[in-house]
Each structure stands twice: as C-alpha cells, then as structure tokens.
Structure 1
Amino acid sequence: MSTPTSPPQAERPRGGLSAWAQATPFTLVFVLFLVLPLVLVAIVSFWRATDYELIPAFTAQNYIEVFNGCGSTSELCVTLKTYLSTLKFCFLVWLITLVIGFVVAYFLAFHVRSVGAQTLLFILCTIPFWTSNVIRMISWVPLLGRNGVVNQALIGANVIETPIEWLLFSDFSVVLAFVHLYTMFMIVPIFNSMMRIDRALLEAARDNGATGWQTVWNVIVPLCRTGIVIGSIFVITIVMGDFVTIGVMGGQQIASVGKIIQVQTSYLQFPMAAANAVILLIVTLMMIWGLTKLVDIRKEL
C-alpha cells in the first residue's frame, strides 16, 4: 500500500519566497509610514532643546516636565487635568455616537428592506463627508452663537429672555461637533455586523416569546460586538488626538492633550511635544487594548 508523499523539497522555497515577495511592499509601507515615524517621535522625546536648536542627547527631563507638580499638592496637576478633560470628551462622544450609530444601523439593517433604499440612505449619510471638517464645524457658529438662529428662535417664541451663552464655545458645542463629525465611523461597522446576522435567529427569538428589547439585547447586541468595538476604536483614536475641533468649537479656551501638543510644536518645543505624543499614544493604545479584550477582532472578521 502506497503512502502519500510530501511535496518536492524544491517547491517549498518557491512558495515561501512568493509569499515574502507579496508581503514586502505592504511591509515597507507599514514601516515607512507608521513604524518609522513613531520611532522618530520616541527618539526626539528624549532630546533636549534650546531656543535655537535641538540637541540629540538622551534625557528624561521632558517626561519629568510633563508631570511637573503632579503629586506635590493635593490638587491635580495641569497634565492630569488636561487628560481628564480629554477623556471626558472621549467618553461622552463615544457614548452618544454609540447610541446614535446603533439606532441608525438597526433601522437600516432591519427596517429598510430594499437594498436600493439602504444604498440611498447610506449616500445621504455620507454627503456631509464631501466637505471639509472645518467647514462643517463653522456651520454651527451661525446656529449656536449668541445672536444665532437657535437663540433668536427661542427669544422670538418667548421661551427665553436672554441668549443662552453655553451653546457655543463650550463643552456642549465641542461634544456636538464631535458627534456630528464622527458618528458615521460608528454607523458603518455596526451596520456591517448587523447585515451578517442570520435573520432566522431573530425569528427563533420571537418564536420563543422574546420581546423586541430582549431580542436586541440578547441576540443583536452580542452578535454586533465586533462592529461596536471597531467603531469605538475609530471614535476613540480620533477624539483623543483631535485639536482642531476643540480649538474651533471651544473658542481656544478648552484644553486637551492634542491642543497642548499643537501649541508646543507651534513654539518649536518639539521634544516636549514628542514626549506628550508618546504618553498620549500609550494611553490610547491601552484603551484600544482593553476594547480588543472584549472580542477577537481578527477571528470575527
């Protein structure tokens, strides 16, 4: 009885070489545009700087100055207050975009039966992305300003007597702009996960007496974990490093880590900015790591 023979030894290296050749271009792009810039930022974070030059000498002074004053008093230092402010915006935007994104995706996936209608509604959702983020942010100013449309309408309807000050250049306007800009990043992955759900599971849940809310919570939400985690990663990474939205909608009065880095680079304090960027990157990666522990994204995809 003959036994199966292994492939010829000469063919194995060719398969391995072909795989390496195919992976090389993507590896080079990954190294040149992601790994190398991050390594350079980390290196610069240990340099010293004067008013006139950068000194490539290893020192941890930049990281010490970032946390200068932390722990010496009972009050929080500036760095911790800034991170708490950034995390506050991140959490609020994540929560609101998650709720809106889930509701919109649920409507498109389970209530819009026609593929053509789903496509049309998706195009309508993406139309705002055809314009600049800055233009979309500025469009809120004539609506929310002291003499804006909202205040004038409320005054005209005798709802308020004086304009509402906190509608613009406040935490409210920053969160509103974030939600307006980035909700789509939550809708798309959740909708993609919902479209993969076998409709027979929903029928089985209803046949077993499950209510609509029970079906959503016990069937749809667990099967959408991958989309929720991916959308959360998108929103969290963008909001954590954003400085344009906070600067424009906060009236340059609200602090964030991204804003501090932008100010430091504008004053040519590159080592300090790099140190803050490394710390921000570590904090963001820890948050992403926590999310990836909820679901194995590679296995689900």
Structure 2
Amino acid sequence: MHRTAAPAWLQATPLSAVFALFFLVPLGLILMVSFWDFNEYELQPAFTFKQYAAIFEGCGRLADDGGLCVTLKTYLSTFKFCLLVWLITLGVGFAVSYFLAFHVRSSGMQTALFVLCTIPFWTSNVIRMISWVPLLGRNGLVNQSLVGIGLVEQPVEWLLFSDFSVVLAFVHLYTMFMIVPIFNSMMRIDRSLIEAASDIGASAWQTLWHVIVPLSRTGIIIGSIFVITIVMGDFVTIGVMGGQQIASVGKIIQVQASYLQFPLAAANAVILLALVLMIIWGLTRLVDIRKEL
C-alpha cells in the first residue's frame, strides 16, 4: 500500500529537540548567568555588565611594567598556541594524507595504514598526554639519552612544563583531526586531473600547489576548524604539560568555576565562544563546507 511520508518538519523534530535541549539551552543558560552578579555566598540574578567590565579592567591602558593587561596577555597566549598547533598539525596532516592518498596504491594497505594512525586514539587523551612526562622530564628517557651521548652536559629543562611540551602534546593529541578530513578530500580528487597536469608539463610541485591543494581546501578548512576550536578551549593539556604555570582562556574559566565564580566564568566563556565563532565564520567563507558533508 502507498504510504504518505511524514512532513519534513515532523521528521526533523526529534533531532531539533535534542539539539535545543543539549546545545541551545546550555548556551542560553551560560549567556544568562554571565549577566548575573555574585558574592562569597550566592549567585544574584540581575542584568549587569559587571563581569565583562571586570574581565577587561585595566586593558584600556598599559600595565605598570609597560605591558598588556592580564586578559589580553592570556588571549594572546591562547592564540599563540592555537596558531603553532594549527601550522604543525596542518603540515603533518597534509603530508600523511598525501602519502596515503597518492603513494599507497592498494586500497587495503591504505585502510591498514589509516587504521594504524588511529591506534593511539583508542586510549584516553589523558593517558597519551601523561605518557610524555617520563620521556621529557629532567630524569626522563630523552634527557638521559642526550647526556649519555654527550650532546648536553646537564638535563634540558625546557623539554617539560614549557611552551614546547604544551605544543608537542597538542600536536600529538589532535593531528588526527586534521588528517581525516584532508585524506577524505584527497580521495575524492579525480586522478585524471593529476594526469592532465602532468601531460601539459607541470612539475610535481606545480601539480601539488595548483591542483591538489585547491581541491583539498575543503578538508583543510574542516580540519582547521576542529583543531582551532579544541585548542582554544583546552585547559587540561595546558595545565598538565605546562606544570600549572602557563595561562590560557580555558584554564582561567576552569579556575573561576572551581572557585564558584560562575558569572565571571560564564562571561569569559561567552567571549571565548564569540571569538571562536568569528574564526569559524571567517574560515567557512573560504569554502562551501556543505559540499564535503
């Protein structure tokens, strides 16, 4: 018997309800609390910009030492890590994806190597992150090896609890988020286009730059969105690998929430969300992501 399909709005209702309940409602609550006030004992429902003013207090002038205010320094530090991790993961992710897509001929071998890349992600992020500590510590394996072969006289201090260790952990944790979308885009490239470029005399670098990179742009943008959004809000990696000595926006929000300063933490979260959405909006202007999805 012929059955009439349910209206489109009715089919979308369950997913829309889940999206509203677990995404829109929490965001609305965070936005609402960011305009509240608080004291040592309770939250005080109100509509005030006090928390936003407190965040940027003193940022209109230079600090006593001639530097920027704490908030701007923190955001600059977060953007610094974000930029470094994005550049490194983009280079590594593109190289790995290019090798898998164009230099591995067998589809079975491609699958096997791709699964091999995902094996580290079968364990917890915390375990993979902490595994660097015995390697990079003052008495760790790396320092013992460097001292043993005579490259250094004393253990290298900046290998752990430094910007280097934070970036290294970020790259280790999130490179796969760059590999997957770029590899997916490269596998969709028509191989006849590469052959055509070779037939008209294009070198390997010219083919890479003028054919493969433009056609992989959607995957690059999607991977960039994944990496940037995760790094911008991460506070566990910076806390552990930075020895609780390196500031980031996510770390500040976590500390404020732990001290029950929820309106202040919510205001910081709203500002961070706005900045991340602006970055995502700028990236999505470069390509039509819907074609990839």
Shorter-chain TM-score tier:
over 0.9
The match for 2:24 among 13, 32, 35 is 35
Helix, strand or coil at the partner of 1:51: coil
Superposition pairs for residues 203-222 of structure 1, below 5 Å? 203-222=195-214
Q: Deviations over 1:259-293 (max 9, x none)?
A: 00000000000000000000000010111111011
Instruction: Give the letter for the 2:152 counterpart.
Output: I
Q: Letter of the 1:107 partner, please give it.
A: F
1:167-186 correspondence to structure 2 within 5 Å: 167-186=159-178
CA distance, structure 2, for counterparts of residue 228 and residue 123 of structure 1: 20
After TM superposition, list the pairs within 5 Å mapping 1:260-271 onto structure 2.
Answer: 260-271=252-263
Q: Which residue of 2 aligns with 1:291?
A: 283
Distance 1:99 1:72 in 2: 38
Q: Find the aligned partners of 2:82 and 2:8 in 1 and give their Cα distance.
A: 40
Residue 100 of structure 1: aligned partner: 92
Structure-2 residue corresponding to 1:8: none
Note the 1:215-294 alignment, pairs <5 A. 215-294=207-286
Distance in 2 (alpha carbons) for counterparts of 1:163 and 1:86: 28
The question of 1:59 aligning with 2:24 is answered no
Task: Supply the AA of the counterpart residue of 1:193.
Answer: S
Give every structure 1 segment of 4 or more consecutive aligned residues whose post-TM-superposition deviation is greater than 3 Å: none
2:119 paired residue among 115, 127, 130: 127
Q: Match for 2:58 among 69, 84, 101?
A: 69
The answer to whether the aligner puts 1:110 opposite 2:102 as a matched pair is yes
Equivalents in 2 of 1:209, 1:149: separation in Å? 49
User: Following the alignment from structure 1 to structure 2, what is the Cα–Cα distance between the partners of residues 128 and 29?
Assistant: 31
CA–CA separation in structure 2 for the residues paired with 1:111 and 1:298: 28
2:45 equivalent to 1:44:
no
TM-fit CA distance, 1:165:
0.5
2:54 maps to a residue whose letter is E
Partners of 1:244 and 1:217 in 2: CA distance? 37
Superposed displacement of residue 300, structure 1: 4.5
Greater alpha carbon shift after TM alignment, 69-78 vs 166-175: 69-78
Q: Following the alignment from structure 1 to structure 2, what is the Cα–Cα distance between the partners of residues 204 and 72?
A: 59
- Give how far 1:129 is off: 1.1
SS at match of 2:150: coil
Which amino acid in structure 2 is aligned with residue 86 of structure 1? Answer: T
Alignment deviations for residues 37-83 of structure 1 (CA, whole Å, 9 cap, x no partner): 11100000000011110011111000000001101225311000000
Q: Which has the larger radius of gyration?
A: 1
Q: Deviations over 1:70-110 (max 9, x none)?
A: 01225311000000000000000000000000000000000
* Cα deviation digits, residues 126-157 of structure 1 (max 9, x gap): 11111111111110011100111111101110
Distance 2:274 2:8 in 1: 33
What residue is the counterpart of 1:190 in the other structure? 182
1:19-34 equivalences under 5 Å are 19-34=8-23
Aligned residues: 288
One-letter amino acid of the structure 1 residue matched with residue 58 of structure 2: G
Q: How far off its partner does 1:21 sit?
A: 1.3
Superposed displacement of residue 299, structure 1: 3.6
Aligned to 1:156: 148
Counterpart in the other structure of 1:166 = 158
Q: TM-score normalized by structure 2?
A: 0.96
Give the deviation of 1:119 after TM superposition.
1.0
Q: Could you list the per-position Cα deviations for residues 236-275 of structure 1 after superposition, in whole angstroms to 9, with x for gaps in the alignment?
A: 0000000000000000000000000000000000000000
Q: CA RMSD in A?
A: 1.2
Write the distance in 2 (CA, Å) between the matches of 1:228 and 1:33: 28
What one-letter code is carried by the residue in structure 1 that aligns with 2:271?
A: I
Structure 2: where are the runs of 5+ without partners? none
Deviation of residue 180 (structure 1)? 0.1
Question: Match for residue 88 of structure 1?
Answer: 80
Query: 1:7-26 counterparts in 2 under 5 A?
Result: 18-26=7-15
* SS of 2:278 mapped into structure 1: helix
Q: What's the CA shift for 1:296?
A: 1.3
